[in-house]
Amino acid sequence: MSRHDDRVTLQQMRDNVRRAGSLADRLSRTELDTDWVATLALVQLLQIIGEAARRLSERFRDEHGGVPWSRIIGLRNRLIHGYDTVDLDRLWLILTQDLPELASFLDRVLDTEQA
């Protein structure tokens, strides 16, 4: 995959990270248990983010080895194949702790690599 393709994929990731963050910001942890529409939307957004991470070139992922790519991709797989056993406590931690870090990384990379 070319740098251009990686850039498009990174922009898609950033868009979906922002969507998930915006939705999560409007929810409490308790609401995650009770608002099944929001929960399904968040799960779907995390699946999309993981799929996009999988599409990034190996070269890009290697150059940015500090990002837990295998965990992001693994989460996608877990959410798709284990949809009936999603741990909402873990999901909440991902949304409130891991996602903001990923958002910052994506902003830095996309702002730095303006082409």
* Tally of domains in the chain: 1
DSSP element (H, E) containing 107: helix 99-112
CA distance 61 to 29: 32
CA distance 83 to 88: 11
Secondary structure letter of residue 101 according to DSSP: H
CA distance 89 to 47: 17
Q: Given this model, what pLDDT does residue 115 score?
A: 45
- The total of other beta-carbon atoms located within 10 Å of residue 22's CB is 10
pLDDT mean over 88-106: 97
46-74 confidence digits (pLDDT tens): 999 999 999 999 999 999 999 999 999 99
Q: Read off the pLDDT band of 4 (50, 70, 90).
A: low
Question: Which residues are designated catalytic?
Answer: 76, 81
Domain that holds residue 12: 3-112
pTM above 0.85, yes or no: yes
pLDDT mean over 77-90: 92
Cα 82 versus chain centre, distance: 17
